[in-house]
Amino acid sequence: MKLPAETEAAIVARYRAGASMELVAAAEYVSISTVWRVLDRHGVRSRGHGRPQLGHADYERTIELYELGYGSTDIGRLLGVSSSAIRARLRAAGHPRRKGGTPPRRLTGSATAIGSVKGS
């Protein structure tokens, strides 16, 4: 079923105004895939999706934190990516995995305390 032109225009306008696809879909009572199709039909590029990627500066920080004893889960949380992204980066850098038996160091405390580790 084709959407009314007003609905398509509202979808495009909401998305261009900064709303996420999920919010646009909820506001217009359509599915996210419908939002995708409407945006594509109107030549609107998506702002991206999924978790953020590691930036170049974060590569060195990943290795540094891992060598300090922190686990990939904590490093991922700190840098805003998944633990599997951290493990993939360590593998790509040729960094050896830790031997079993020694648990990783844990990042604990507030974001401020973690930020002090991040900035060191």
Q: In this predicted structure, what is the pLDDT of residue 50?
A: 58
| Structural domain total, the chain | 2
Say if residue 61 is in the same domain as residue 108: yes
Q: Does the global pTM surpass 0.85? A: no
Residue 64 sits in the same domain as residue 106:
yes
Q: What are the tens digits of pLDDT across the range 81-107?
A: 888 888 888 888 888 887 765 566 676
Domain-located, residue 51? no
**Residues 93, 67 share a domain:** yes
CA distances for 72 relative to 57, 115, 118, angstroms: 17, 17, 14
Range of the domain at 103: 56-119
Task: Please tell me whether residues 34 and 77 are part of one structural domain.
Answer: no
At 12, list the tokens.
């495009």
Structure confidence by residue, pLDDT tens digits, 38-73: 999 999 988 766 556 677 778 888 888 888 888 888
Mark whether 79 and 36 lie in a shared domain: no
Specify burial of residue 1 (Cβ count, 10 A radius: 0-12, 13-18, 19+).
Answer: exposed
